[in-house]
Amino acid sequence: METLIEQIKQGKVWPFAGGIHPPGQKQQSTSRAIERLELPDKLVVSLKQHIGANGKLIVEKGQSVLKGQALTKPSGNWSVPVHAPTSGVITDICPMPSAHPSALPELSVIIEPDGKDTWCELNPVDDPKALSHDELVDIIHQSGIAGMGGAGFPTYVKADTRKSIEFLIVNAVECEPYITADDMLMREHAHGIIAGIELMQHLLNPTLTIIGIEDNKPEAIAAMQQAAKHNESIIVQTVPTVYPSGGEKQLIKLLTGKEVPSGNIPADIGMLVHNVGTLFAINQAVYEGKPLIERVVTVTGNTIHKQGNVWALLGTEIKHLLDCQGFSPVPQQRVVMGGPMMGFTLPTVRIGIVKTTNCILAPDHQELAEPGDEKACIRCSACADACPASLLPQQLQWFAKSKEYDKLNEHNLFDCIECGACAYVCPSEIPLVQYYRVAKAEIKEQQAEQIKAERARERFEARKERLEREQEERQNRHKRKPATKSSDEKQKVADALARVKPKSDDKDSKSAVAAAIARAKAKKQGAELEPDNSEVAKERAARKEQARKYKEQKALEQSEETVDKDDKKSAVAAAIARAKAKKAAQATEADNATDAEPEAVDDKKAAVAAAIARAKAKKAAQATEADNATDAEPAAVDDKKVAVAAAIARAKAKKAAQATEADNATDAKPAAVDDKKAAVAAAIARAKAKKAAQATEAENATDAEPAAVDDKKAAVAAAIARAKAKKSAKEQAETESATDAEPAAVDDKKAAVAAAVARAKAKKAAKEHAEQQAKNESADTHGTDAHSDDSSTDEPEAQQIDNTPESSEDKKKAAIARAIARAKAKKLQQEGTDKS
């Protein structure tokens, strides 16, 4: 089986997908040899004429420069210098319109030629093989050579590749219509091109060099074969005339049958591609020492009277080229830089020629018609059939319009070589290439922003790590290191521990000592250990328990004192309660006397009054019994306190009598009773109230007798008195509620019995009152001598009241009251007998 090299030498060609056959239109510019133009009035040399970073400017405004003098020096990645195309003066350094569809301004050096065209010092090389690889690459680099057939990729980068190159491919196809710059260069300077090829062979050492030329250039094919006949490693290969066979990947497919994978470059598969114009510039740079300052440019179109190719200095304005070739513009004239397929319309002709400018096309309206309005896609698939990169132009256009950049990358947008074949065949006249160019620019800008953000993030993280590291170093620098213990110090600590151990028998004390030693060790060694506070906590808890017990004991003592004081107060309160009960009994008698009036009381009222009288009498009797029982108990109150209590009781009794008088006066105004009876009733009420007050005073004086009972018995007696008083009050309340619940219509028998009981009790009460009064008089007589000092000092008011003899008027009133009570009782009895 034949090898690949054998197949290539036999002239085999492998076709690529897609492609179109537009009219060539090359005869107009190949009828004349390449001409040289006269010097222009000014040259606008852009600093950016290639892919990569701009060079660093090394000249200034007003400076004189020589032909071939460097204006910049390489700075950054893929940076190549630019040189002065002729001698002259730098009139300005400013932004000027660029050779781009947008014509955005780029920094440019404006040179005014002096007309002398004086060269700077040149350094030609007679024997390039004597130079090292790096020296030869440096000459190419400093000469400012970049790719002259396409995007302007720096040539020194390709020449300095470290990858193994099997095939060096020379692109001499020049497939685009109207362009004939490479064709004429090969016709006239084939030997120079072959010399440049041999220099690249020396640098790259390829197995085979293939020159690809379209079959529509017979003169160029013959010239190149003649120039390369002495070099057997160079093959001139004729390829079919199909557009775009001049594309790098398409040409590799045509000549070798290999395909460059998506996202890769030809060097990845052992191939390298150079344009014939680039190789001729390498020849001049090495053998003549000339930098890249001029190139061949095709000036053609129906508006150009003198169509052909010219040697144009870099920076020459396009207007100068057109004027030199006889330009006759038409209305709305278009001027295209490049060919009709991949070129772009210039917004102005005041733009300088750059290293990648190979054609200036000035067509009329019949030659290159204006594109029509864009119409809707009819899905004819003509664009996909014509695409040489086997892409889907229709989908790419949709994604580009909707700015779906991820999908554009998925559909390999950057494999598009922007040949324009899809737009050429589109029946809807959709400018597909323009969509792709805009999308590519936006994606590159987005990627640049992402790279910038990533670098900023990396810088931030690096700075953060650096600051943290510096902070940690500062802390470690100021941190005190624990001092190293000597053997003597260690021995002292061990001896101290040995002395401490036998002294402590208790486990708690041992643990406390051990904790103290541990804390001391930790503190000395600089360790940040928390102290053991268990022993301190135990001591604190013990102190709290002791304080709590002390408070409880103190509270108990205070409660006992309070009980003693309460007993004394209870005795006084019992005396006051007895006085109030007696007063209530007397008030009841007065009410009964008043209620017994025969004129204003009817039968029903009499029955109710009898029931009330019985209840009140019973209540008074119970209260009297309780008082007597209480009086029998010895009191533990001293003389002074008894005197004060008696005075308070008398005052309260007097106040109660006044209130009773007011109540009786109010209640004693029935509508059926005349004024006389009301006056008598009021007088009787006042007499009873006064008598009740005197009786209370007498009892209080009697209760004031000193007792010979000790404190313990007094406390017991007081407690009993409180209990009885509480019981009496409870029974009184129950009696009142029972009395109130009795119906008004009490039967006659009960009324008679009640009347009899009332009379008996009234009689008994009067008798007891007389006996009590006699006792009080005898007590006053004996107590005056015994207690003259105390009574004169502490109880002046009590002595004054108790020693006052009862007047005859009072006795009279008391007799009247008893008579009224007996009359009421008799009347009630008679009424009961009549009813029965």
Binding-site annotation: residue ranges for [4Fe-4S] cluster: 377, 380, 383, 387, 416, 419, 422, 426
Residue 490: CB atoms within 10 Å: 10
With b for 16 or more beta-carbon neighbours within 10 A and e for fewer, the 209-229 pattern comes to bbbbbbebbeebbebbbebbe
Torsion region of 308: left, alpha or beta (phi above 0 gives left; psi -120 to 50 gives alpha)? left
User: Nearest-CA neighbor of 230 among 191, 256, 199?
Assistant: 191
713 class by beta-carbon count within 10 Å (0-12 exposed, 13-18 middle, 19+ buried): middle
Upstream peptide bond of 598 is cis (omega within 30 degrees of 0): no
**What is residue 269's DSSP assignment?**
G
Report whether 321 contacts 299 (CB < 8 A).
yes
Q: Which two tokens stand for residue 617?
A: 């009498």
Strands in 271-275's sheet, in edge-to-edge order, are 234-239, 208-214, 167-171, 271-275
List beta partners, residue 239: 214
Q: Do residues 9 and 235 lie in contact, with contact meaning Cβ atoms separated by under 8 Å?
A: yes
353 in Cβ contact with 344 (< 8 Å): no
User: What sign does the dihedral 384-389-392-395 (CA atoms) show?
Assistant: negative
Paired with 237 in beta bridges are 212
Angle separating helix axes 711-741 and 603-632, nearest 10 degrees? 170
> Amino acid identity, residue 675?
D
Rounded (to 5) percent helix, strand, coil in the chain: 55, 10, 35
Q: How far apart are CA 200 and CA 524, in angstroms?
A: 78
Nearest to 170 by CA among 101, 96, 224: 224
Query: For residue 769, which of 721, 833, 814 has the smallest C-alpha distance?
Result: 814
**In the block, which residue shows the tokens 């070739």?**
325
Instruction: Give the three-state DSSP class for 56.
Output: strand
Give the residue ranges of the annotated binding site.
Answer: 377, 380, 383, 387, 416, 419, 422, 426
| CA pair distance 481, 477, nearest whole angstrom | 10
Separation of alpha carbons 25 and 178, rounded Å: 5
3-class secondary structure, 304? strand
Q: Are 244 and 173 in contact (CB under 8 A)?
A: no
Strand partners, 154: 146
CA distances from 786 to 404, 699, 709 (A): 127, 19, 19
Question: Of 235, 187, 242, which is closest to residue 212 (Cα–Cα)?
Answer: 235
CA distance 61 to 63: 6
Q: Which one, of 233, 224, 213, lies nearest residue 166 by Cα?
A: 233
- Beta-carbon neighbour count of residue 188 at 10 Å? 17
CA–CA distance from 86 to each of 68, 141, 721, 827 (Å)?
Answer: 7, 20, 141, 164
What gap in Å lies between CA 256 and CA 5, rounded to an integer? Answer: 8
Tokens of 820: 């009224």
Strands 344-345 and 294-300: unpaired
> Rounded to whole angstroms, how far apart are CA atoms 664 and 65?
143
C-alpha to C-alpha distances, 650 to 407, 575, 632, 693, 696, nearest whole angstrom: 115, 11, 21, 7, 7
The Cα–Cα gap between 413 and 405 comes to 9
Rounded Cα gap, residues 46 and 351, in angstroms: 9
